[in-house]
Structure 1
Amino acid sequence: MSSRLLSRSTLIRPELISRSIRPVQSVNAVRSYSTSPNPSSPNLRTTAFLSVALLTSAYLVYRYETSPTSPATEDGSLNAIYGEKFDIRIRGSRGVRSYEFNRKSEKEVERILKENESGEKDVGRKGNPVIRWDTNWVGSNEPCEDRFASNLIPRKSTSSNANDGSDIQSDEGKKDLLLFSIIDGHAGDATSRLLKETLNPVIAISLAGLQAGFLPPAESTGWKYWTEKLNPTSWFYSGKAESAWKPENVTKTLQYAFTQLDDHICQSPIRLLNEMRSASSANLVSSDKPTPRETLVALSQPATAGACAMTTLVDSENQDLYVALVGDCRAVAGWQTADGKWRCDALTEDQMGENLKEVERVRKEHPHSERDTVIKNGRVQGGLQPTRAMGDAVYKWPTEQGNAIAKAYKEENVKPRPVRPWNFTPPYVSAKPEVTYRKLTNDKGDKLKFVIMATDGLWDRLTSEESVLLLASYLSHSTHPDIPKTQLPKLFPLVQPTEERPYPVQELPQPTGASWAYEGDSNAATHLIRNSLAGANRKNMAELLSMTGEVTREMRDDVTCTVIFFDDANR
């Protein structure tokens, strides 16, 4: 979201951007679900209190289970109530500007919410713990800078049938690998478009090498790493492949897949720059082909733009889950405990200049003389909010190279991304992901039900815990009358966290006012996006999705979400 102050006419309610600024507080300040003291011994007052509480809970569950479905609103009814047009006012450095838009009908709103739905409704592979996944995206930028990719990588397990010669599939999904990536581009969509096509394949190739017994190197060495990989003498690996596939090696393989792909993205323009200089000095420019400078400008777009990226790897055979993150996307797991409660497991920590852990990490990687410039005003060198990203080479190139590439852009009448003023010891932005590892089962009897992956457009308006509650209730009833936000934690209790919560630490769900919407979405990602935009406030929803142009970006971000569902019967 833009940092500019926003003010709206009476037609736009404050709930529109109620989560545009994430509330952050210390762990000690987090409110618990109950303020009642724990009773030291049974007594009459306690018994009466418990009886009333049980009766109240029973009544709420009864109302929840038996309430009729909300009647469908007629198309255009919002326009009949509020008018065909609405206006907003945005206050910026040049004062207040007013904008007027035509309010879209409810039918048009539903079309926008659902037109980009995708996923796999029935994986149908016995032994694979993933039974379904849903994806959706709603754009704000034109074009949308978000991308996603989902891939199932089967590893066959067959036996021969002597009678008919056919193969009998036995637990065909037991050895499957699944890769899910969410990519949030910035400064254009060039990096995210490239990663959509390359990130999962690069990871798959790297994992295939590990499966064959090739361990990732101890340290990333850029181009030298790939030179060594292509050296035939390195192909004769004397170790055992089965001993190479360990969580620590899978983690390192994921990290090197990210970093080496980013090295290619960012170093290719430097190589093209050298070729451009050589061709110009030798007068090798041909009139019927693109000039070296034109080639440089065209092929360096993924390096000059940038993207946050997150990949979830599901290893069916070993019942393992890995999440690799570069940037401020987020993954959250929803576990159901043995007693039916829900547990929110934040699998990632937002990597940005407001996260003190990231601030200290970046500062330690540079001389003390740069301590005050590497992170300024919560941003890398005062510019980029995420502290880790793919691309964003202006934070990774030395100043001389960055200026040379910027000059080539200007000579082609293309506006370059500004070179950072304090690039003394680059890189300042890392592409090495933090990797979280989980088993798909635990000894407490908790059951992993789903993993939510989303770009920060969703998390600007939803907390991690709210997303788990929304999915827990969605699994129970996707179609239902609006549920007050105050009631949802009572209907679907969350286990109180006992460990330090990852950044950003946000308030646990104890909201006041407003409601969540349950419109019978067949796609779970749509259900989350719908509620992140405006909850059950259909007027605000229509207005948010009716805006066009640059104003849209002031009010909401691109949002992409994938929900992965698990079935413990296949574990």
Structure 2
Amino acid sequence: MKQSVSSCTRPLRRLCVRSRGRFHTSSRRLSSFQYKWNVHRSSKTKRDINFALAGGILLAASYIFLTKNKLFLDSSRSLTSDGATLISQQRSLSGTAVTSGPYDKSNLKQMLTDEEVDRRLRAFEESYTLKNGRGVSRYDVCQLPSNNPIEDARAEKVIQVPIEDSHGKDGKSESYWYFWSVFDGHGGWNTSQKLSKELTNAIIKELANSAYKITHDDLHLIPSSGTIDRAIKNGFVQFDHKMVIENVQEFFATEQKDKSAAMKFLLPALSGSCALMSFYDTHTKNLKVAVSGDSRALLGSVNDKGVWTVKCLSIDQTGRNPSEVTRLRKEHPDEPNVVRNGRILGSLEPTRAMGDGKYKWGPELQQQLGNMFFGGKPLKKLKSAPYVTAEPVVTTQEIHPEKHDFLVLGSDGLYEMLSNEDIVALVVKWMENKNMIKIKRPLLGSLFSKNDDSKLPKVIDVSDPAAKAEKKPFRQFNKKNSKEYLLEDENVATHLIRNALSNGGYSEYVKLLLSISSPVSRRYRDDLTATVVFFSDEDSEISGETQASVEINPDATRGGLDQKLKSKI
């Protein structure tokens, strides 16, 4: 059923109109001066709102006209049967990186129905339960594209590692390495897709070769925390060097320098991607978070007073980060505009990223590549490349499962819409609804508060001050009048994405934002990726089990509609 322009634009008006004041009426108690001033401000406000409403109606009318004439195409991914699958599922504990795949195109002609909204939100959700996983009980992932194709990618992997342990049986034990990653691409999808397929294995190789040394009994020694950090950083830098420098050299060494060869060797280097990788060692219970760019990792936890807290485990590496600005100005002392308006050379926002050859190659090489294939010109203010580094900042956090610790990884599209506190509060509300935890409320509070269940729980930010200074979400709503949240999903990552679109718990906002097709949708939201990990204090050695198993949660994986995903991994 087609909707009228006015009904379609009702939620849009709320997005377009920014209230600049409230209407005021005359009152006998007001002085003459106050009365005149309020009338003046009221008329000005009415005029501003009329202009805003007119603009909103024109925008909606243009949108409906364009979609009816099929000028914009919407896209969604599906699991194909010819091997070009949406994901590459993990079939053993040695693991395979999970990556995203092709798209099927469809036209958007009208507002989505509730069923279509659910289908689109849940199209790429996956959920896994780990039995005897020694430290992890479950993790959920979900993605929502805005770009076509999506520029976000993600990867997960778990491997079993024999280690030397003086407290273990026969001086040895088993540890599990968990990797969860989010890659937020920019300038195309090529870099993020390559990272999702190859970077985890490169880091595992570096850890095994330079950090976790192997004894004559084929056991791995537990290294120091600093040694692990250096191995992760080296893995990032070496992978990026091969992708951006060595691949270009290999391209020029090929006999046939055609466009096919250029795409193979150069496209991952021409586009770029932020990289966020977490590494959890169940033996030490240490969680490492490595970030190049502005994707973000959060730790939700309960403190000694029973209050939920959020700790940011990463700091956005952008031109707004004071330490990054200082570093760049020191590296490029003769370039006052190396960081301008919070961006590298006034253009690129991340100061650390994978790929982005334009900010790592010299002007001569860029001119040569531009003349051969790509027609682009070097940046005008390019003087002393490289400006962007792939080396990540690595932090370490000890995990305490008894405090209900959980990890949230997300691309910046998620954090543009939700604050750190909101994200943890939404996960806690979801956990309570699924009976994973029981919220302990003060007796007096429960007596005097009638609407506890309608509000999100209080969350305190205990992050480093530098992390608290990160960019704030642009979602603006009045919490006093807001529903605050939606609670409809079995998958907690899908739950976060739905609420990120809801503007504080309003389903009509979700429907509107999902109904806007690519590329217009990119004006209102970015690609969204979320991964949520629940830690556990389960010990497989105590239970007598030594082999972990990974099982798919069918109800939280594409709505349980795909029967192929209901079997054990």
Look up the SS of the partner of 1:185 in the other structure.
strand
Look up the SS of the partner of 1:257 in the other structure.
helix
Q: Deviations over 1:420-469 (max 9, x none)?
A: 2222211101100001101113xxx9725210000011000001111011
Match status 1:450 vs 2:450: no
Give the CA deviation at 1:211: 4.7
Match status 1:431 vs 2:390: yes
2:364 alignment partner in structure 1:
400
Identity %: 28
Match status 1:247 vs 2:252: no
1:562 alignment partner in structure 2:
531
1:185–1:308 Cα contact (<8 Å) kept: yes
Look up the SS of the partner of 2:300 in the other structure.
strand
Give the CA deviation at 1:513: 2.8
Match status 1:530 vs 2:498: yes
Letter in 2 for 1:184: D
Q: Deviations over 1:458-517 (max 9, x none)?
A: 0000011110111111110159xxxx9x96897633346485251316599994432233
Give the CA deviation at 1:292: 4.8
Match status 1:477 vs 2:483: no
For 1:14 and 1:261, locate their aligned partners in 2 and report how far apart those are by CA, in whole Å.
Answer: 46
Match status 1:145 vs 2:151: yes
1:466–1:509 Cα contact (<8 Å) kept: no
Structure 2: segments with no counterpart, 5+ residues: 1-7, 19-54, 68-109, 436-448, 541-569
1:459 alignment partner in structure 2:
415
1:35 alignment partner in structure 2:
none
Q: Which one of the candidate residues 242, 251, 262 is aligned to 1:296?
A: 262
Letter in 2 for 1:125: N
Q: Which one of the candidate residues 387, 392, 401 is aligned to 2:351?
A: 387
Look up the SS of the partner of 2:294 in the other structure.
coil
1:207 alignment partner in structure 2:
207
Give the CA deviation at 1:537: 1.2
Look up the SS of the partner of 2:130 in the other structure.
coil
Give the CA deviation at 1:266: 0.3
1:125 alignment partner in structure 2:
132
Stretch moving more, 493-502 or 432-441: 493-502
For 1:187 and 1:355, locate their aligned partners in 2 and report how far apart those are by CA, in whole Å.
Answer: 22
Q: Which one of the candidate residues 481, 494, 507 is aligned to 2:459?
A: 494
Match status 1:329 vs 2:307: no
CA RMSD, Structure 1 to Structure 2 (Å): 3.5
Look up the SS of the partner of 1:436 in the other structure.
strand
Give the CA deviation at 1:364: 1.3
Look up the SS of the partner of 2:175 in the other structure.
coil
For the structure 1 residues 155 and 362, does the alpha-carbon distance in structure 2 shift closer, same or farther, using more than 3 Å as the test?
A: same
Look up the SS of the partner of 1:98 in the other structure.
helix
Give the CA deviation at 1:151: 0.2
1:362 alignment partner in structure 2:
328
Look up the SS of the partner of 2:63 in the other structure.
strand
Q: Which one of the candidate residues 90, 107, 110 is aligned to 2:115?
A: 107
For the structure 1 residues 489 and 500, does the alpha-carbon distance in structure 2 shift closer, same or farther, using more than 3 Å as the test?
A: farther
Q: Deviations over 1:509-556 (max 9, x none)?
A: 994432233333111100100000114211111111011132111111
For 1:260 and 1:296, locate their aligned partners in 2 and report how far apart those are by CA, in whole Å.
Answer: 21
Q: Deviations over 1:4-46 (max 9, x none)?
A: xxxx95441445899xxxxxxxxxxxxxxxxxxxxxxxxxxxx
1:540 alignment partner in structure 2:
509
1:518 alignment partner in structure 2:
486
For the structure 1 residues 388 and 156, does the alpha-carbon distance in structure 2 shift closer, same or farther, using more than 3 Å as the test?
A: same
Alignment of 1:94-243 (within 5 A): 98-100=62-64, 102-120=110-128, 122-126=129-133, 128-156=134-162, 174-213=174-213
For the structure 1 residues 330 and 532, does the alpha-carbon distance in structure 2 shift closer, same or farther, using more than 3 Å as the test?
A: same
Stretch moving more, 487-496 or 513-522: 487-496
For 1:499 and 1:192, locate their aligned partners in 2 and report how far apart those are by CA, in whole Å.
Answer: 28
For 1:488 and 1:394, locate their aligned partners in 2 and report how far apart those are by CA, in whole Å.
Answer: 51
Q: Which one of the candidate residues 252, 273, 276 is aligned to 1:274?
A: 252
Give the CA deviation at 1:561: 0.6
For 1:529 and 1:153, locate their aligned partners in 2 and report how far apart those are by CA, in whole Å.
Answer: 29
For 1:430 and 1:17, locate their aligned partners in 2 and report how far apart those are by CA, in whole Å.
Answer: 40
Q: Which one of the candidate residues 504, 512, 520 is aligned to 1:551?
A: 520
Give the CA deviation at 1:350: 1.1
For 1:311 and 1:134, locate their aligned partners in 2 and report how far apart those are by CA, in whole Å.
Answer: 16
For the structure 1 residues 213 and 114, does the alpha-carbon distance in structure 2 shift closer, same or farther, using more than 3 Å as the test?
A: same
For 1:89 and 1:419, locate their aligned partners in 2 and report how far apart those are by CA, in whole Å.
Answer: 41
User: Normalising by the residue count of structure 2, what TM-score does the alignment of the two structures yield?
Assistant: 0.69
For 1:526 and 1:244, locate their aligned partners in 2 and report how far apart those are by CA, in whole Å.
Answer: 36
For 1:17 and 1:119, locate their aligned partners in 2 and report how far apart those are by CA, in whole Å.
Answer: 38
Letter in 2 for 1:123: L
Give the CA deviation at 1:323: 0.3
Q: Which one of the candidate residues 321, 342, 347 is aligned to 1:378?
A: 342
1:326–1:433 Cα contact (<8 Å) kept: yes
For 1:270 and 1:562, locate their aligned partners in 2 and report how far apart those are by CA, in whole Å.
Answer: 34
User: Normalising by the residue count of structure 1, what TM-score does the alignment of the two structures yield?
Assistant: 0.69
Q: Deviations over 1:242-264 (max 9, x none)?
A: 76611111111111111100000
For the structure 1 residues 404 and 335, does the alpha-carbon distance in structure 2 shift closer, same or farther, using more than 3 Å as the test?
A: same
